[in-house]
Amino acid sequence: MGMDHHLCWLKKEQEEKILLINSTYIEVDGTSKNAIIGLVGCIILYTGQGKFHQTTTKTLKYIVHQADITAQRLRNVSDDLDAAKKVTVAQVFLPVDVQADIGEIQTKLNASAIQLSERTKDNKEDIHDLLESVRIALIVIAAVMLLWTFLGFSKFFRF
């Protein structure tokens, strides 16, 4: 009876060790999954911010290009109006008041073109600065997430 009791105790102790090993394995497995999920999240965030930055920068360049084209077209219309003031038909010039009206329109068109160019430049710089700030913030967040992932993972395996 003593031997059976001893064998039962050993068997129970071994089962507890196996249970302990299995529960540790599950815990490690859960931590590994968390680390992998965290790592994948960091990669997605980092690549996502890169794509976001790239597409918003392309969009900004397109908008600035369109504004530049519009400003140039305003200048072209102003030049066309200047040429129209000088048109003569059978050696008859446009009346002075019409020429003055055309001159006012030219002045307004040129002022609009200059204002559009200046505002576009200012807004482009502001938007570019904002995009860079967002980009840096997302990179820092991804780095902190990665650091927390590895700190949490290494904390579990502390010797």
**Per-residue model confidence (pLDDT) at position 158:** 54
CB atoms within 10 A of CB 44: 11
Residues 6+ apart with CB under 8 A from 64: 120, 124
Any idea what DSSP says for residue 1?
-
pLDDT, averaged per 10 consecutive residues of the chain (159 residues), comes to: 48 48 42 75 88 94 95 93 81 82 91 94 94 93 84 59
| Consecutive H or E run containing 89 | strand 88-89
Using CA atoms, how far residue 152 sits from 20, 32, 34, 41, 136, in Å, is 22, 10, 9, 15, 24
Nearest to 146 by CA among 39, 50, 49: 39
Tell whether pTM > 0.75: no
pLDDT at 24: 38
Say how many Å lie between the first and final Cα of the chain, rounded. Answer: 42
Residue 103 CB contacts under 8 Å (≥ 6 apart), including other chains = 85
- Whether residue 100 contacts residue 85, with contact meaning beta carbons closer than 8 Å, is answered with no
CA 154 to chain centre: 31
Check residue 134 and give its pLDDT: 93
Residue 154 burial by Cβ neighbours in a 10 Å radius (0-12, 13-18, 19+): exposed
Residue 78: closest CA among 116, 52, 54, 112? 112
Amino acid letter, residue 49: Q
